[in-house]
A and B are shown apart, each in its own frame.
Chain A
Amino acid sequence: MKRSIPFELFRYAAILAALAVTLIPILWMASMAFKPIGEWSATGVDLTWWPKEPTLSNFRFVFGQSDSSLIVALDRTAMKPILSSLLSASFGTLIAMSAGTAAAYGLSRFGSGQNLPLALTQLRLFPPMAVMIPVMIMWAFLNLTDTWWGLALIYGIVTLPFAFWLMKTFFDDMPREIEEAGLVEGCSRWRVFTKITLPMMRAPLASAALFVFILNWSDYLIALLLTTREWVTVPVYMASLSSSMTGQLYGAKAALGLIAAVPPVIMGIAIQRHLVRGLTFGALKQ
């Protein structure tokens, strides 16, 4: 359809405004991450929008290199929280994807587990806050509190619905002729699943796994309740960073925030095509 020139102008103006609003908070944090301490807060007159003397000292600081201008040194560095986030999010993704893919295939092909769609949707919709009391009690009982594997287990369960729904819509969309051919050749159904179906579904599996990983990586509340010291994740660690000497460690926190924010944004853009499907539980495809 041909559009008039005023419309095109309006469109670009509106989109540019939206882009500015979208990017300013992100850029502000990025700029903060590279600012030396003197430019952090603008209690004085001018606010520095762009670092005047860009520095990597904030990044060095969160990884433990003491910095004389910051006075304080951290009692623990960002290394362990990053490791904790990586381990819990990865293994949580592994749990969710294994159980979710298997269940999705079972339901899609053999009609097993008819209760799962409703049960898993409810699981996804309920606020985690509302089931955390029993989870905290159980985790303490099982010695899972403040461990990355304890977090991985709860992440695996919390994101199971996403893994299940995504994989179910992918399996439903997959043509069955190839599986049929495998059966005719005398493969068992298990062999068909592992040797034919799964290899064919590599790309969807990867997208779903990235999607689930982003969700796990983004968690704050669960880690806040289930970790206390040893295995706190990046967001929890970031929020706890402050010091009596310098107040909020703006630059250091911004540096951490940037480290935490970059991977999911890149992954998210990589799986853009499947975002709608994942977010609406397959109700909508793109």
Chain B
Amino acid sequence: MNLATGPDNAMAQPPAARTPGRDESARLGFRLTLPAQVLVLFIAVFPLLMQLYISLTDWSPLDGLSWWMAWESWNNFYNYYDLMRDNRFWSAMWRTFVVIIVCVPVEFLLGLGLATLFVDDFRGKRVFYSILLMPMMVVPAVAGYMFFMLFQSGGPVNDVLSIVFGTRIAIAWLSDPTLALIAVMIADIWQWTPLMFLILLAGLVGVPQDQIKAATLLGASPWQRFTTIVIPKMKAIIIIALAIRVIENFKIFDTLYIMTGGGPGVATETISVYIYKLTTQDLIWGYVAAIALAILLVLSVFTVYAMKRMAAAREVEA
């Protein structure tokens, strides 16, 4: 960079670095970021320490003791030992995993397929686009209720099936262990395919058209163009979209809980539902704290990975 250009140069540099008001900047910067820092401390650092402490005890809000007295029921990491052998926990984990493994790829493929149809202009594009995005803006609890109604034994899903198959079908979707899980996943796919569509379309539109034209001139088939130019260009975006959905799906609660409450039995009990039940029904908060910490630890690893990817994508953008 040419340093001798005077006023021009002052504009190019971040003002903080060279103006005499450097102290002022630093002070103002500190003050501006302070509220956010306080909120983060308030919700992250202190609660996590509290959680760690409680997780080492058998404390329950029913004890009548304040949480800081929890040491009276200190149990030497026994909660973590319990966790290893807690079959209900592992089956909830497994179920959450199944939901992720099924929903994320389906949402991705449907979203990508739809997005490829929206790259160039056609009549009605804007209206269709807006409508297709609607499910992700519906309050998840309300979406849960929509699908609860759809899957009633006398509901529209069975009605359509009855018409298609020509006989009266009255499946009790939400009372059957397998079908309930499928219904829950259908609701998730309905609500979140639009997110994939939105992100992937933004990525597709950003793929440089000249490269595609060049490849076309060289005789590449659409499929070849897609796999050799479009997909590699979109790698970072695809990873972000997948990471967001994996993380969100791991938390799946609202729609599912409204539809089935985790039932029948524990057939649709995912990890969030299991923790919710332990928190509000069993009230064994020491154990819940241990589960929560274990999950946070595992997710942290994933998060740092996802963060790096997002940062990399941001670099590319800039």
Chain A positions near chain B (C-beta within 8 angstroms): 1, 3, 8, 11, 14-15, 18-19, 21-26, 28-29, 32, 41-43, 47, 49, 95, 98-100, 102-103, 105-107, 109-113, 116, 118-123, 125-138, 154, 156-157, 160, 164, 176-177, 179-180, 183, 188-190, 193, 214, 217-218, 220-221, 224-225, 234-235, 238-239, 250, 253-254, 257, 260-261, 264-265, 267-269, 272, 275-276, 279-286
Q: Are B303 and A265 in contact (CB under 8 A)?
A: no
Q: Which single residue of chain A is at the shortest CB-CB distance from B286?
A: A133
Q: Are A220 and B28 in contact (CB under 8 A)?
A: no
A42-B155, A113-B33, A157-B42 known; A28+B141 contact, CB < 8 A: no
Which residues does chain B contribute within 8 Å of A118, judged by CB atoms? Answer: 307
Q: Are A98 and B35 in contact (CB under 8 A)?
A: yes
12 A-B pairs whose Cβ atoms sit less than 8 Å apart in the complex: A23-B131, A98-B35, A109-B29, A111-B14, A118-B307, A130-B275, A130-B296, A132-B279, A135-B43, A250-B149, A257-B142, A280-B310
Cβ-based interface call for B314 (8 A): yes
Which residues does chain A contribute within 8 Å of B93, judged by CB atoms? Answer: none
Q: Are A103 and B132 in contact (CB under 8 A)?
A: no
Query: What class of interface size applies to chain B in its complex with A?
Result: 35 or more
Q: Are A284 and B203 in contact (CB under 8 A)?
A: yes
Q: Are A221 and B15 in contact (CB under 8 A)?
A: no
Q: Are B156 and A24 in contact (CB under 8 A)?
A: yes
Q: Are A103 and B33 in contact (CB under 8 A)?
A: yes
Cβ-based interface call for B69 (8 A): no
Q: Which single residue of chain B is at the shortest CB-CB distance from A98?
A: B35
Chain B positions near chain A (C-beta within 8 angstroms): 10-11, 14-16, 19, 21, 24-26, 28-33, 35-37, 39-40, 42-44, 46-48, 50-51, 54, 61, 67, 113-114, 117, 120, 122, 128-143, 145-147, 149-150, 152, 154-156, 159, 190, 194-195, 198-199, 202-203, 205, 236-237, 240-241, 244, 247, 250-251, 253-254, 257-258, 271-272, 275-276, 279-280, 285, 288-289, 291-293, 295-296, 299-300, 303, 306-307, 310-311, 313-314, 317
- What is the CA–CA distance of A116 and B34 in the complex, to the nearest angstrom? 10
Which residues does chain A contribute within 8 Å of B271, judged by CB atoms? Answer: 127, 129
Q: Which single residue of chain A is at the shortest CB-CB distance from B113?
A: A14
- What is the CA–CA distance of A135 and B54 in the complex, to the nearest angstrom? 13
- What is the CA–CA distance of A179 and B253 in the complex, to the nearest angstrom? 45
Q: Are B142 and A235 in contact (CB under 8 A)?
A: yes
Q: What is the minimal beta-carbon distance from A250 to any residue of chain B, in angstroms?
A: 6
- What is the CA–CA distance of A177 and B300 in the complex, to the nearest angstrom? 40
Q: Are B29 and A276 in contact (CB under 8 A)?
A: no
Q: Which single residue of chain A is at the shortest CB-CB distance from B52?
A: A134
A102-B35, A127-B251 known; A42+B139 contact, CB < 8 A: no
Chain B interface helix/strand/loop/mixed:
helix
CB contact between A254 and one of B50, B129, B149, B293 (< 8 Å): that residue: B149
Q: What is the minimal beta-carbon distance from A160 to any residue of chain B, in angstroms?
A: 6
Q: Which single residue of chain A is at the shortest CB-CB distance from B125?
A: A15
Q: Are B43 and A157 in contact (CB under 8 A)?
A: yes
Q: What is the minimal beta-carbon distance from A119 to any residue of chain B, in angstroms?
A: 5
Q: Are A176 and B137 in contact (CB under 8 A)?
A: no
Q: Are B254 and A220 in contact (CB under 8 A)?
A: yes
CB contact between B16 and one of A110, A188, A193 (< 8 Å): that residue: A110
- What is the CA–CA distance of A135 and B35 in the complex, to the nearest angstrom? 19
Which has the most chain A C-beta neighbours within 10 Å: B15, B203, B295, B296? Answer: B15
Q: What is the minimal beta-carbon distance from B88 to any residue of chain A, in angstroms?
A: 16
Which residues does chain A contribute within 8 Å of B140, judged by CB atoms? Answer: 218, 220
Q: Are B240 and A280 in contact (CB under 8 A)?
A: yes
Which residues does chain B contribute within 8 Å of A125, judged by CB atoms? Answer: 247, 299, 303, 306
Q: Are B141 and A121 in contact (CB under 8 A)?
A: no
CB contact between B146 and one of A1, A29, A128 (< 8 Å): that residue: A29
